[in-house]
């Protein structure tokens, strides 16, 4: 429930506004001073709802932040930072073996869908996103090519509360394997 309020502060602001409106109406109808004061005090909760929403980072917001930071690291060809968000040692090594094959100039992510896996312990999420990468092969055989990819991540909440990748793959946007798809799915 707190996630809804933290991710959509307009929802709680709308509810507070209804209460303020009702108190204001009651005050103007009856002239009761305490109702006017209650309306004013309740109205002060409106900015508080947005401040609280900015302070609380939900699991979805944490995952989105990690994706954004990782895309920036990939764009800077910072392979160690990209691999740092991978919890599984074998998966991290696979990424460290794969990343040096590419040279990135620009990485943009969008169409991000996060599906929290209900009942999983520790908590897990499947993240399906589209990434548009401009770059080429590190060998120089391919340069300045724009490559749209569908990236599928399995993420797991760690004991310290952070989210890390436990598995990943990337395919063409249609979901078909191509020359850039790792030899696994």
CATH number at residue 89: 3.10.450.50
The answer to whether residue 178 is domain-embedded is no
Do both 148 and 104 map to the same domain? Answer: yes
Do both 9 and 64 map to the same domain? Answer: no
pLDDT the model gives residue 140: 74
Do both 47 and 82 map to the same domain? Answer: no
pLDDT the model gives residue 175: 64
Q: Give me the domain span that covers residue 18.
A: 2-55
pLDDT the model gives residue 185: 42
| 69, 94, 124, 169 from 66: Cα distances, Å | 5, 19, 15, 17
- Structurally, the chain folds into a number of domains equal to 2
Cβ atoms < 10 Å from Cβ of 155: 28
Do both 112 and 164 map to the same domain? Answer: yes
Do both 25 and 44 map to the same domain? Answer: yes
Do both 9 and 42 map to the same domain? Answer: yes
Q: For Cα atoms 150, 156, 158, give the angle at the middle one, nearest 5 degrees.
A: 145
Do both 43 and 129 map to the same domain? Answer: no
pLDDT the model gives residue 177: 64
From first to last of its 185 residues, the chain has per-residue pLDDT tens of 677 777 888 888 999 999 999 999 999 999 899 999 999 999 999 998 888 888 888 889 999 999 999 999 999 999 999 989 998 888 888 888 888 888 888 999 999 999 999 988 899 999 999 999 888 887 777 788 888 888 899 999 999 989 999 988 888 776 666 666 665 54
φ and ψ at 130, to 5 degrees?
-100, 135
Dihedral in degrees, nearest 10, Cα atoms 2, 62, 87, 146: 140
Do both 136 and 79 map to the same domain? Answer: yes
Model confidence, pTM: 0.74
Do both 85 and 127 map to the same domain? Answer: yes
The answer to whether residue 10 is domain-embedded is yes
Do both 47 and 127 map to the same domain? Answer: no
């Amino acid at each position: 429930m707190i996630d809804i309020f933290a991710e959509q502060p307009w929802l709680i602001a709308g509810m507070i506004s209804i209460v303020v409106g009702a108190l204001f109406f009651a005050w103007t109808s009856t002239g009761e001073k305490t109702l006017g004061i209650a309306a004013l005090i309740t109205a002060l909760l409106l900015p508080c709802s947005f401040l609280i929403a900015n302070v609380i980072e939900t699991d979805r917001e944490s995952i989105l932040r990690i994706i954004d930071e990782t895309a920036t690291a990939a764009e800077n060809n910072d392979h160690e930072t990209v691999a740092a968000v991978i919890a599984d040692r074998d998966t991290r090594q696979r990424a460290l073996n794969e990343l040096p094959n590419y040279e990135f100039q620009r990485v943009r992510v969008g169409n991000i869908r996060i599906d929290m896996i209900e009942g999983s312990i520790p908590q897990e999420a499947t993240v399906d996103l589209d990434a548009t990468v401009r770059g080429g092969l590190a060998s120089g055989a391919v340069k300045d090519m724009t490559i749209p990819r569908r990236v599928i991540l399995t993420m797991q909440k760690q004991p310290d509360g952070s989210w890390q990748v436990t598995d990943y793959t990337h395919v063409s946007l249609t979901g078909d394997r191509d020359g850039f798809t790792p030899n696994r799915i």
